[in-house]
């Protein structure tokens, strides 16, 4: 299991597309940081060694001051060298980290911005918040607190073993066994427990993020239901669970530190015994007895972080995996940039024998589904809830891929046209998002290059001109968070104005009038049909009123189009449709 974990860590490192490129690019300064780290410990150890020698030789009243002159100078040199090297090393490593972090944050935000819609479908909100809040910090620490200290510690260990091995083989073997226990054995043995503790903690944090997000989104409902206290209790239960895990971690950490301190004590005792028996043959040699033991103490600072670092490995490897997953999943979609390209209306959009389900155990939503939609055709998609209507649109956009069959524009599979997808489609669902900015900016999202006059034109087309003209600041009025200044119908109209400005050839409507009163619903749909007559349109709806305006209706049921035809044809020939239609418009 431990070997597998180490292998996993190695694989992550190898495939790390976040820090690794920066590491490679700044190889020279990294080596300098390692070298400075080594020099710091060397000076610390040498300082103690020379000081020990100096104290011992002064205690024996040297007959000539020059006998201790060189150690005095060396003490001063190492004493100054240690903080100086440490300072430069800190300066260099922090500079490196700040530069890298800034570049990484830029990269992360660009990734999220570019593939926002894709990410929101594939990552839960808790995951995304976690990604933003923690993962990059973890990755920074992974190198600063794990990889770099381990490299410096192993470098010091390697050189120490060579040096001691040359001086005395038995001592080298004893030191090797004890130090190896500290820097290899304990970290490896502690890994499984660290992984399981971490995964519990991580699950808890993620749940907390998810629940907090949900709870906050539903804040109004908690209040309406007079369940404010439940809301508080709901969130505080996570705090108490987190506190328990933290306490357990602290206890384990204390025990581990005690064991390591005991081992260091044992090393000091071994050194003391060895120097007591081997360095007392002459008075001159005895000067070194204390030095050897003292020289070892500063090295404890070098080896201690290795165990700690290894215990943090699970924390970092999960973050590293998620960031790399993010890079990979978005790199598939990277081509789907938001850059607007001029695209011509396809003559034909074809679904050919498409089958789809979300997972092997999930119900098949499309089964050998075929459909041909011609240029400027308006298609209404009806069907019971959960039959896969929205999924059908997601397949068309390319957010999902068919398990079998193809979806193509003029014979070319949509997967090959993903680089143009933002130019092909406009999308309006039941709750268009309105940003907390001006009306002008909200509409201009459709086309950043549009002039103020263009914005006013589309606002007039969607019937918002009068409303906007009555606002004291007109189009410069800020609509508050998620457009709370606007009614539901006005929000949908504003989103429609955005779509008109975008002027993409294919319009996808996913129940855009849900929650609107019948009059507003009918007006909005009238506006859409009037302004979008030159576009190809897919309209998912549960309401049959207004359907006469579409060219064709398909009824999606059990993975197939169970009814299909013009509204008039279906009304005349399909009793089920006639009944549904009459029910919907209140005729029966
Ligand atoms: N990402 C997903 N992973 C697994 N199942 C999903 C996912 N998204 C949707 N589903 C499931 O697929 C089924 C079809 O969902 P879809 O939203 O396409 O239906 P719909 O016909 O548009 O429903 P409605 O009319 O209620 O909006 C539902 O049962 C839904 O739970």
In this prediction, residues 28-55 reach a mean pLDDT of 90
Distance (Å, whole) CA 122 – CA 118: 6
Cβ–ligand 1 distance for 382 under 6 Å, the answer no
pLDDT at residue 536, rounded to an integer: 94
C-alpha–C-alpha distance, residues 535 and 456, integer Å: 21
Cα-to-centroid distance, 404 and ligand 1 (Å): 18
CA 357–ligand 1 middle distance (angstroms)? 10
Q: Quick check: 38 and 119 in contact, CB under 8 A?
A: no
CB of 493 within 6 A of ligand 1: the answer is no
> pLDDT tens digits, residue range 368-410?
999 999 999 999 999 888 899 999 999 998 888 899 999 999 8
pTM of full prediction above 0.90: no
Can you tell me which atom of ligand 1 is nearest the CA of 358? 4
The span from the CA of 356 to the CA of 364, in Å, is 6
Residue nearest atom 4 in ligand 1 by C-alpha distance: 358
CA of 207 to the centre of ligand 1 (A): 23
Name the nearest CA neighbour of 397 among 115, 125, 128: 115
Q: Is 396 in the pocket of ligand 1 (CB under 6 A)?
A: no
What does the pLDDT read at residue 339?
Answer: 47
Q: Which atom of ligand 1 is nearest to the CA of 542?
A: 25
Q: Residue 221 and residue 464: Cα distance in Å, rounded?
A: 30
Query: What share of the chain has pLDDT > 90, as a percent?
Result: 23
CA 200 to chain centre: 19
Please tell me the least confidently modeled range out of 107-121, 152-166, 225-239, 331-345: 331-345
What confidence score (pLDDT) does residue 133 get? Answer: 56
Q: How many CB atoms lie within 10 A of CB 81?
A: 18
Query: Residue 28: is its pLDDT beyond 50?
Result: yes
Top mean pLDDT of 91-100, 418-427, 525-534 is at 525-534
Please name the residue whose Cα sits nearest to atom 5 of ligand 1.
358
The rounded Å distance from CA 365 to ligand 1 centre is 9
| Ligand 1 neighbourhood includes 389 CB (under 6 angstroms) | yes
CA of 362 to the centre of ligand 1 (A): 11
Protein residue whose Cα sits closest to atom 26 of ligand 1? 385
pLDDT of residue 206: 72
Give yes or no for residue 391 CB within 6 A of ligand 1: yes
DSSP state of 345: P
Instruction: Give the residue whose CA is nearest to atom 13 of ligand 1.
Output: 386
Q: What is the pLDDT of residue 74?
A: 92
The whole-angstrom separation of Cα 252 and Cα 258 is 10
Q: Does the pLDDT of residue 138 top 80, yes or no?
A: no
Atom of ligand 1 nearest to the CA of 392: 18
288 Cβ partners below 8 Å, 6+ apart?
52, 53, 56, 275, 279
Among the residue ranges 3-7, 273-277, 460-464, the one predicted with the least confidence is 3-7
Work out the pLDDT band at 113, boundaries 50, 70, 90.
low
Nearest alpha carbon, ligand 1 atom 29: 386
**How far, in Å, CA of 188 to CA of 125, rounded?**
34
DSSP class per residue in 468-511: HHHSTTGGG-B--GGGTTS-HHHHHHHHHHHHHHH--SEEEEES
What tens digit of pLDDT does each residue of 198-210 get? 778 777 877 777 7
What does the DSSP 8-state code read for residue 436?
S
On the question of pLDDT at 269 being above 70, the answer is yes
The strand order across the sheet containing 378-382 reads 425-428, 506-510, 536-540, 378-382, 552-557, 560-565
Query: Residue 451 has what DSSP assignment?
Result: -
pLDDT tens for 287-303 read 788 888 888 888 888 88
Residue 332 confidence (pLDDT): 42
pLDDT at 101: 74
CA of 392 relative to ligand 1 center, distance in Å: 10
Out of 96-105, 190-199, 219-228, least confident range: 219-228
Average pLDDT of the chain?
82
Contact present, 475 and 441 (Cβ < 8 Å) = no
Among protein residues, the one with the nearest Cα to ligand 1's atom 11 is 386
| 507: β partners | 426, 537
Instruction: Quickly tell me which residue has 């263009």 as its tokens.
Output: 454
386 alpha carbon to ligand 1 midpoint, in Å?
5
Residue nearest to atom 7 of ligand 1 (CA): 358
Phi and psi at residue 141, in whole multiples of 5°? -65, -30
Query: Hey, is 448 helix, strand or coil?
Result: coil
Q: Distance from the CA of 389 to the center of ligand 1, in angstroms? A: 8
| Per-position b or e across 463-474, b if 16+ CB within 10 A of its CB | bbeebbeeeeee
Ligand 1 centroid vs 351 CA: distance in angstroms? 19
Higher pLDDT, 238 or 410: 410
Backbone φ, ψ for residue 477 (5° rounding): -75, 135
Ligand 1: distance of its center to the CA of 385 in Å? 8
- ∠ CA 169-171-174, rounded to 5°: 110
Residues in the chain: 588
All structural domains of the chain, each given as residue ranges with its CATH number in brackets, are 2-333 (1.20.1560.10), 348-584 (3.40.50.300)
Best residue for ligand 1 mutational test, from 117, 362, 385, 389 (most atoms within 8 Å of Cβ) = 389
For ligand 1, whether the C-beta of 81 sits within 6 Å is no
177-186, 485-494, 529-538: lowest mean pLDDT where?
Answer: 485-494
Query: Is 534 in a helix, a strand, or coil?
Result: coil
Is the CB of 559 within 6 Å of ligand 1?
no
Kindly state if the Cβ of 365 falls inside 6 Å of ligand 1: yes
pLDDT 10s digits, 471-515: 888 889 988 766 778 888 888 889 889 988 888 899 999 988 887
385 ligand 1 Cβ < 6 A:
yes
Residue 114 is predicted with a pLDDT of 53
Q: Which of 19-28, 75-84, 91-100, 244-253 has the lowest mean pLDDT?
A: 19-28
Structure confidence at residue 299 (pLDDT):
85
* Ligand 1 proximity of 361 Cβ (cutoff 6 Å): no
**CA gap 273, 199 in Å, rounded:** 44
Q: Among 109-123, 162-176, 538-552, 569-583, where is mean pLDDT lowest?
A: 109-123
For the Cβ of 388 lying below 6 angstroms from any atom of ligand 1, the answer is yes
């Amino acid at each position: 299991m431990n070997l597998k974990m180490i292998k996993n860590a190695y694989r992550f490192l190898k495939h790390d597309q976040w820090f690794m490129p920066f590491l490679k690019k700044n190889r020279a300064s990294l080596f300098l940081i390692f070298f400075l780290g080594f020099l710091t410990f060397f000076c610390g150890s040498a300082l103690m060694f020379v000081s020990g020698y100096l104290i011992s030789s002064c205690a024996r009243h040297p007959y000539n001051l020059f006998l201790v002159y060189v150690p005095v100078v060396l003490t001063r040199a190492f004493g100054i060298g240690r903080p100086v090297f440490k300072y430069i090393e800190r300066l260099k490593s922090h500079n490196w980290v700040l530069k890298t972090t800034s570049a990484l944050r830029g990269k992360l935000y660009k990734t999220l911005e570019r593939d926002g819609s894709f990410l929101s479908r594939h990552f839960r909100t808790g995951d995304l918040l976690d990604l933003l809040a923690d993962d990059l910090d973890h990755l920074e620490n992974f190198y600063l607190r794990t990889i770099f200290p381990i490299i410096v510690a192993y470098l010091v260990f390697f050189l120490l073993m060579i040096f001691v091995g040359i001086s005395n083989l038995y001592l080298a073997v004893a030191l090797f066994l004890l130090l190896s226990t500290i820097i290899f054995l304990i970290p490896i043995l502690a890994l499984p427990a660290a992984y399981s503790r971490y995964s519990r903690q991580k699950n808890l944090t993620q749940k907390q993020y998810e629940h907090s997000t949900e709870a906050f989104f539903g804040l109004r409902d908690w209040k309406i239901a007079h369940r404010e206290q439940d809301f508080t209790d709901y969130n505080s239960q996570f705090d108490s669970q987190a506190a328990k895990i933290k306490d357990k971690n602290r206890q384990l950490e204390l025990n581990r530190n005690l064991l390591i301190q005991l081992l260091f004590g044992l090393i000091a005792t071994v050194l003391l015994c060895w120097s007591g028996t081997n360095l007392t043959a002459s008075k001159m040699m005895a000067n070194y007895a204390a030095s050897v033991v003292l020289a070892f103490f500063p090295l404890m600072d070098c080896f201690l972080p290795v165990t700690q670092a290894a215990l943090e490995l699970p924390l970092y490897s999960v973050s590293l995996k998620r960031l790399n997953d993010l890079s990979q999943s978005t790199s598939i979609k990277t081509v789907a940039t938001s850059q607007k390209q001029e695209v011509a209306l396809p003559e034909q959009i074809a679904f050919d024998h498409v089958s789809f389900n979300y997972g092997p155990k999930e119900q098949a939503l499309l089964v050998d589904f075929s459909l041909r939609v011609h240029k400027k055709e308006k298609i209404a998609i009806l069907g019971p809830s959960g039959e896969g209507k929205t999924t059908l649109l997601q397949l068309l956009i390319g957010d999902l891929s068919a398990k079998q069959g193809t979806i193509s524009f003029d014979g070319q599979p949509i997967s090959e046209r993903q680089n143009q997808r933002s130019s092909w489609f406009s999308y309006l669902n039941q709750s268009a998002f309105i940003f907390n900015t001006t009306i002008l900016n909200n509409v201009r999202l459709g086309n950043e290059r549009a002039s103020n006059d263009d914005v006013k034109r589309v606002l007039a087309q969607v019937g918002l001109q009068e409303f906007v003209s009555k606002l004291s600041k007109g189009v410069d009025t800020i609509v508050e968070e998620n457009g709370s200044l606007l009614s539901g119908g006005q929000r949908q109209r504003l989103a429609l104005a955005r779509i008109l400005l975008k002027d993409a050839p294919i319009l996808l409507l996913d129940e855009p009038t849900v929650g609107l009163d019948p009059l507003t619903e009918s007006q909005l749909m009238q506006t859409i049909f009037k302004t979008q007559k030159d576009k190809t349109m897919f309209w998912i709806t549960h309401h049959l009123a207004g359907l006469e305006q579409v060219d064709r209706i398909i009824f999606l049921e059990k993975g197939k189009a169970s009814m299909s035809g013009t509204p008039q044809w279906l009304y005349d020939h399909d009793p089920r449709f006639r009944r549904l239609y009459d029910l919907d418009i209140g005729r029966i």
